Structure 1
């Protein structure tokens, strides 16, 4: 495929015309990865977060998500994705020796669930902020059940190169301040991701099947699936059931109309949901018999409860609401949340995938991104659900701007338009890793059997394995891999020092709390 200059987006043409396309190369990439601790028998761990890993409340890189058993690994952001992945690898090397007989589940969809109560809610100590994190999770339990919260995924954090912004600002001839322009451009990226993000599910979705134990608390939901075997259900052409209505997405929030057309609109619409009472949640109660069941009885308890595929992010100061951080300092980066764990990779993501995602996010940034209307939200959501549930179906048609188009043809259009970006990102590199990543995904579009979802089902059939057995066996291989790859002594000492510092920091926070929890919560929500 030849790149035709006249077909490039205006922003990219401008960069090329002014010989500043190299500015695309220095974006910062960070990764967050969730993994359930499971027993040798495949059940969810009932043990507390290992103390040797530090404090889940204050450790910057090793924490927990919803469950005490749901570990979360966080890397710092790096310009070189190899550094990001290397740091993630080191985190796993540090954690594994402290797991004893347990291991990390390699898949996004949990197995071995014995009802909701088999999933322990994360604990963060006795401080006010720790109590708030725990109560928030109790609220999620009462609202959605614990099972959905045990689903794991990878979040890809991306910050556009700082030196690129003034150039794009000049090109736009915008009268807005640079800070306002940056936030507007990030929201343009997010809107385009909503339009095209189904591509991530097709290419990298790795949850085409589910253990029947997942439905123990909601057996009626199992009726929509076909039976793969005695213990597994699936959709024959599914890519990412994690991103379907039974997984990461929530039907409870289907009516929310969050505004992605501007920073102010986003903050105001999200804040409105956090401050609007909801009868079903009022029936649960907030403080029942002196014990908090949820933070409030509103549509959303806090911002993080809104299950979006991509979030605009700003680093919040201690105790600062995320929406206020955005309002005060604008968007700093985006968090892409639709990536399944790649169970065929020990850390859940490989370099080729990460490079493709970086180029894809730049594609979303550089192309025109008109405001999103109410109807478009429904169309984008429908496209995503179609791909999640039946993305590998031959001839599957999606809705692009009101017209039917096959997934295959639309994907080809996007990959074609990504060529120039990948070529720019490869400048100075003899092995052309971005263009190779693009070529690999082109092959996956042309042959659905190469998708992770198809490969997983093929492996299960070939080996006569149910999904839970396949997941456990793969997890055991990853455990063996990391146990055979210990950290070097210097890095080991650095992580041990970090863990000790985090425990001390938690103790200091607990010792210095002066407010009772009621007052702390009141002040938190009163921020404006």
Structure 2
């Protein structure tokens, strides 16, 4: 791998285009549960001062009314991305009336499914559709899984770089075909190597026992009691990405191809249109109330859980698969990053630098098509790393053989080294190389330097349950953000944006006259 990457970087350098590697765009989506000062999930509506969750471009909700989602625009410099996320946090902290944003990915102090309020988006058809989709997720998988939070790292290759790469590759297809092909090559490599992100940045080795309320018998036996209120796995990195987190056994039989754009769209579309008997048993409209959007394997594309998604910006009311089919891939959404509970914004600049380098590794490394068996192996590597990645002597499967996890991690970091150096350019700070070197240290001594080990070490040292640990850090982050309020001009601009979003929701609701059933029929009939 290293030789190929060195060769491709050398080609870029000889062409005088290496600087284009630094022009990729980076954006963030960050989820956090609003909690009370007692650490319980907030039962209050999405604060009106934050605007409309339906129409605000930067402040919305995910599954739950309490699961706030903060979104930045994309920037060339991740420092600008992080600064934008921190500004949004400051505005939110100033307008949630003493509530906190939970610092951890795994929720705590859940009082059963009914304590997790489903997000509400108003009376418009699009608002109802978003709500009913979430209601369907609750019926299908339970609400607790949907209350888990994470960070999505959005990355797009510079538009200026694509024709350069195509020329260097001697590729004679249309540029659009080349771009789609290379983005899907990135998707495949992220699936192959994505376990590394969980190993290095997984920060959810423990969880509140209340997370398994009603499911204790089948699941609790796979965990060790940390204290009377906490389950954990001693060598876990990311329970969020494990068998009790963002996994769905009902989708295990799905084979969504990541070899070609057309195949990916075809397979997702098939799942959205194929009935599934257990979901038919739930019912769609029961006693005048919609329980789900349909009784198919997937209600919509977003229900398909994956660590990375190829994305295209959708137009109003447009299906994501149709947007991909018409306009190709615009960016990739890396979805496997836990909240960094030690950073008030949920992720650090050093992490962002590393992730940018990792995304370019996935672009520059060879990426042959993936068979069903290779996809299963890659998924199993992710699961094994999530559950027990810090186990001494831990091995993963590469090809037909077992390989030491830490040895493979070092190989990947070594392959990233020339990319980091090229991203640094002539800067004196060596920001990308320094971020990578931090991870060399973590690979060499996981128990001392990985955040998953740090969390358990602190909980033991402080005699804290997971809930107490999470609440302590959440309060610290709130204090940090509130001690550095927004400049008045920024605060006023955000206040106006919130008011504008509320007006936009009112306008949508005022113009909406179609029956909801007709709206859904029209939506799913798009071609």
Answer yes or no: same fold by TM over 0.5. yes
Q: Does 1:269 align with 2:290?
A: no
Inter-partner Cα distance in structure 2 for 1:399 and 1:480: 44
Residue matched to 1:333? 331
Measured in 2, the distance between the counterparts of 1:318 and 1:517 equals 16
Assess, with a 3 A threshold, how the Cα gap between structure 1 residues 194 and 6 changes in structure 2: closer, same or farther.
closer
- Which residue does 1:479 correspond to in 2? 478
SS class of match (1:260): coil
Q: Distance in 2 between matches of 1:327 and 1:310?
A: 18
CA distance in 2, matches of 1:382, 1:52: 44
Q: Which residue of 2 aligns with 1:522?
A: 521
d(CA) in 1 for partners of 2:205 and 2:132? 32
Q: How far, CA to CA, are the matches of 1:8 and 1:205 in structure 2?
A: 27
User: Does residue 299 in structure 1 map to residue 294 in structure 2?
Assistant: no
State whether residues 223 and 233 of structure 2, in contact with CA within 8 Å, keep that contact through their aligned partners in structure 1. Answer: yes
Q: Distance in 1 between matches of 2:206 and 2:300?
A: 31
1:112 shift after superposition: 1.1
Aligned to 1:361: 359
User: Is the aligned partner of 1:253 residue 2:251?
Assistant: yes
Q: Is this contact kept in 2: 1:5–1:13, CA < 8 A? A: no
- Structure 1 position 217, deviation (Å): 2.8
Any conservation in 2 of the 1:39–1:102 contact (CA below 8 Å)?
yes
Per-residue deviation, 1:172: 2.2
Q: Give ranges in structure 2 of 5+ residues lacking alignment.
A: none
SS in 2 for 1:316: coil
- Does residue 52 of the first structure (1) align with residue 49 of the second (2)? yes
SS of residue matched to 2:354 = helix
Distance in 1, matches of 2:7 and 2:175, equals 19
Listed as ranges, the matches of 1:499-518 within 5 Å are 499-518=498-517
Please tell me whether residue 12 in structure 1 is matched to residue 9 in structure 2.
Answer: yes
Aligned to 2:112: 115
Mapped partners of 1:254, 1:305: distance in 2: 13
1:222 equivalent to 2:220? Answer yes
State whether structure 2 residue 144 is matched by structure 1 residue 147.
Answer: yes
In structure 2, the residue matched to 1:397 is 395
Residue 252 of structure 1, CA deviation: 1.7
Q: Deviations over 1:294-334 (max 9, x none)?
A: 00000000000001100000000000000000000000000
**Inter-partner Cα distance in structure 1 for 2:308 and 2:72:** 18
For residue 37 of structure 1, give the secondary structure of its aligned residue in structure 2.
strand
> What displacement does 1:19 show?
2.8
CA contact (8 A) 2:4 2:365 kept: no
More deviation, 16-25/64-73: 16-25
Measure the CA separation in 2 of the matches of 1:446 and 1:181: 38
Equivalent residue, structure 2, for 1:192: 189
Match of 1:37 in 2: 34
Query: 1:12 and 1:369 mapped to 2: Cα distance?
Result: 16
Output aligned runs, 1:397-476, within 5 Å: 397-449=395-447, 450-476=449-475
Distance 1:5 1:47, change over 3 A: closer
Q: Where does residue 124 of structure 1 map in the other structure?
A: 121
Secondary structure of the structure 2 residue equivalent to 1:71: strand
Q: Does 1:288 align with 2:308?
A: no
TM-score, length of structure 2 as denominator length: 0.98
Please list every run of 5 or more consecutive structure 1 residues that lacks an aligned counterpart in the other structure: none
Q: Secondary structure at 1:158's aligned position in 2? A: strand
Once the two structures are superposed, what CA deviation does each residue of 1:261-319 show, in whole Å capped at 9, x if it has no partner? 00000000000000000000000010101111000000000000001100000000000
Distance (Å, rounded) in 2 between the aligned partners of 1:117 and 1:11: 54
- Select which of 316, 319, 341 maps to 2:317: 319
1:234-278 residue CA offsets vs partner (Å, 9 max, x unmatched): 111000010001001212211110000000000000000000000
Q: Is the 8 A contact 2:24 2:158 kept in 1?
A: yes
**1:501 & 1:515 partners in 2: Cα distance?**
24
TM-score, normalised relative to structure 1 = 0.98
Shift of 1:483: 1.3
Contact 1:10–1:367 (CA<8 Å) still a contact in 2?
Answer: no
Q: Tell me, in whole angstroms, the C-alpha distance in 1 between the residues paired with 2:476 and 2:99.
A: 13
Moved more, 10-19 or 416-425: 10-19
- Partner SS for 2:455: helix
Q: Do residues 94 (structure 1) and 91 (structure 2) align?
A: yes
Residue 212 (structure 1) aligned with residue 209 (structure 2)? yes
Displacement of 1:352: 0.3
Q: Is the alpha carbon distance of 1:37 and 1:5 closer, same or farther for their aligned partners in structure 2, counting shifts above 3 Å?
A: closer
Answer whether contact 2:2 2:415 (CA < 8 A) is retained: no
Alignment coverage as a number of residue pairs: 525
Residue deviations 1:65-112 (CA, integer Å, cap 9, x gap): 000000000000000111100000000110111111210100000001
User: How many Å separate the matches in 2 of 1:354 and 1:49?
Assistant: 29
Q: Deviations over 1:10-36 (max 9, x none)?
A: 433321332321110100000000000
RMSD of aligned residue pairs (Cα, Å): 1.0
Partner of 1:378: 376
The 8 Å contact of residues 89 and 481 in structure 2, kept in 1 or not, is answered as: yes
